[in-house]
Structure 1
Amino acid sequence: MAATGTPVLFVHGMFLHAASWASWVELFRTAGYAPLNPGWPGEPNTVAEARQEPDRVAGIGIDDIVSHYAQIAGTLGTRPVIIGHSTGGLVAQRLLDQDLAVAAVALQPPPIKGVANRAPSSIPVGWPLLRNPANRRRALSPTTRQFRYSHGNALTTTESDTLYRQWVIPSPGRPVFELVSANLSRRSPATIDAANAARGPLLVLAGGRDHSAPAAVVRATVKRYRASSAVTDYQEFPDRGHSMPIDSGWREIADATLVWMRRHLR
């Protein structure tokens, strides 16, 4: 098991507030780690404030988010484990590739550069933002119906709507544009050295019913990591959608993460 007090840095994804990690933070602290869940750059401290002040995150891109968490990781005294969900999963991989993390867990991450996303289910997820180029400079929230499709499709409507009321906040549109154009950009912020053999262990998790990060696309990312001799593990939860770290089944995902960490962090 990792030494007592090993820092664990949680990174949330699009449209969710950092406080959505609260249950994980409590569990990991009880397990002997030192968890922290700061928000994206500019993100207010509460869901209510974030909804009232969307312009505070408008225009923020993936590189800005990575730099923000890199700075936080650098203040911890020792390299943390970084656990990220969705876009936060890409951030976790970036920081692991930069040797700023001792290990990383990427829950339902978007594809890295070099992986094509041809899954039809993901088109309705990004289209509300992508249909207007001006959204690249804005911060927007999904509707309850859009959230149900992108995150809560494996849940009851009641649970999906409850999660929406609890945690959904405006997010910058820029990361979505950056991810969609990743394979066309020479300097894409989704670029990762998949052949890096010097990095720490990586666990990638997928949900079999995920519309936002379809399991087939997540597996394609994992396949690229075969170029590295570093540890890359994959686990799929067949009946789970994109809400799996925050919905009523979150503990199954968190426990699987803890088991993996105890195996790889001595």
Structure 2
Amino acid sequence: MSTTKPPVVFIHGLWLHPDSWQPWIERFAEAGYTAIAPGWPGVADTVAASRENPGAIADHGIDAVDAHYTDIIAGLPAAPIVIGHSFGGMIAQKLLGEDKAVAAIGIDAAQIKGVLPLPLSSLHATLPVFRNPANIHRAVELTEDQFRYAFGNAVPEPESKDLFERYTIPAPGRPLFEAAAANFSLHSPAKVNTDRDTGAPLLLIAGGQDHTVPEVITKATLKQYRHTDAPTELLEFSDRGHSLTVDHGWPEVADACLTWLAGMGF
């Protein structure tokens, strides 16, 4: 049996630049993985360049992002493990359901079609996008206060400010509008193949203090996989918010992912 580990593809969500995965790339390299963190369509190589050109980021929907990462995966030497945060967690699930990955981890993953809970905190966190219907075609930036509520509520305010300044970029509004309409659309791009029969495992991670994707959404997502025999598990961090992949506690989350992958034979 080969001892070569699959490559790892990290997928960021809305409002965080892919540079936010760099500590994870280094952590996974220490564990023997080769990892990359490509940006979404239109996202520039740096935070500053992404902020300067929000038009390049605008109007990319879920299908476009899925196709973008499908192309990236096609250029890898082997099918990867995909690890995504927030909307990146949704994309990771889509790629797994499309048989393009050998395993997936969705961290505070955005709701997929079929998930019904819509907590008030989620509505408040995404209000900067939904307050204007025209934002479906635009890239939207968060203010520092909005980031504090949506991402940094479980960390000290100075840390939230630092994360905001270091990693935030404009994000396309379209994926949020698509997810919001998913349960009213027969062919929604937020639909995921939850009945996968390839045996490829999935780990869902929930932050108990998350305002943007409260744990009730992650638990409801888990229920969507009730008809699959493939390993599908839930891990909760009760004291963590939506910033759990980038704040001071990220090593605990990363190490939990590595432990789970090792247990799955990766």
Q: TM-score, normalised by structure 1?
A: 0.98
Residue deviations 1:163-212 (CA, integer Å, cap 9, x gap)? 00000000111011011111011111110121222251000000000011
Give aligned-pair identity as a percent. 46
Counterpart of 2:146, as a letter, is Q
Q: Does 1:248 align with 2:248?
A: yes
Tell me by how many angstroms 1:2 deviates: 8.2
Counterpart position of 1:232: 232
Counterpart position of 2:99: 99
Determine if contact 1:2/1:262 at 8 Å carries over to the other structure. no
Provide the rounded CA distance (Å) in 1 between the counterparts of 2:235 and 2:159.
24
Tell me by how many angstroms 1:3 deviates: 3.1
SS of corresponding position for 2:204: strand
Deviates more, 1:147-156 or 1:115-124: 115-124
How many residue pairs get aligned? The number is 266
Counterpart position of 2:55: 55
Q: How does 1:132-147 map to 2 (within 5 A)?
A: 132-147=132-147
Tell me by how many angstroms 1:227 deviates: 1.0
Structural RMSD (CA)? 1.2
Counterpart position of 1:110: 110
Provide the rounded CA distance (Å) in 1 between the counterparts of 2:20 and 2:193.
30
Counterpart of 2:126, as a letter, is G
Unmatched runs of 5 consecutive residues or more in structure 2: none
Provide the rounded CA distance (Å) in 2 between the counterparts of 1:214 and 1:60.
25
Q: 1:252 to 1:185 in 2, by over 3 A?
A: same
Q: Does 1:79 align with 2:79?
A: yes
After TM superposition, where is structure 1 displaced by more than 6 Å over at least 4 residues in a row? Answer: none
Q: How does 1:197-216 map to 2 (within 5 A)?
A: 197-216=197-216
Tell me by how many angstroms 1:4 deviates: 3.4
Provide the rounded CA distance (Å) in 1 between the counterparts of 2:196 and 2:250.
31
Counterpart position of 2:38: 38
Provide the rounded CA distance (Å) in 1 between the counterparts of 2:22 and 2:189.
28
Counterpart position of 2:6: 6
Provide the rounded CA distance (Å) in 2 between the counterparts of 1:2 and 1:54.
44
Tell me by how many angstroms 1:98 deviates: 0.5
Unmatched runs of 5 consecutive residues or more in structure 1: none
SS of corresponding position for 2:224: helix
Q: TM-score, normalised by structure 2?
A: 0.98
Provide the rounded CA distance (Å) in 2 between the counterparts of 1:184 and 1:124.
21
Provide the rounded CA distance (Å) in 1 between the counterparts of 2:216 and 2:176.
19
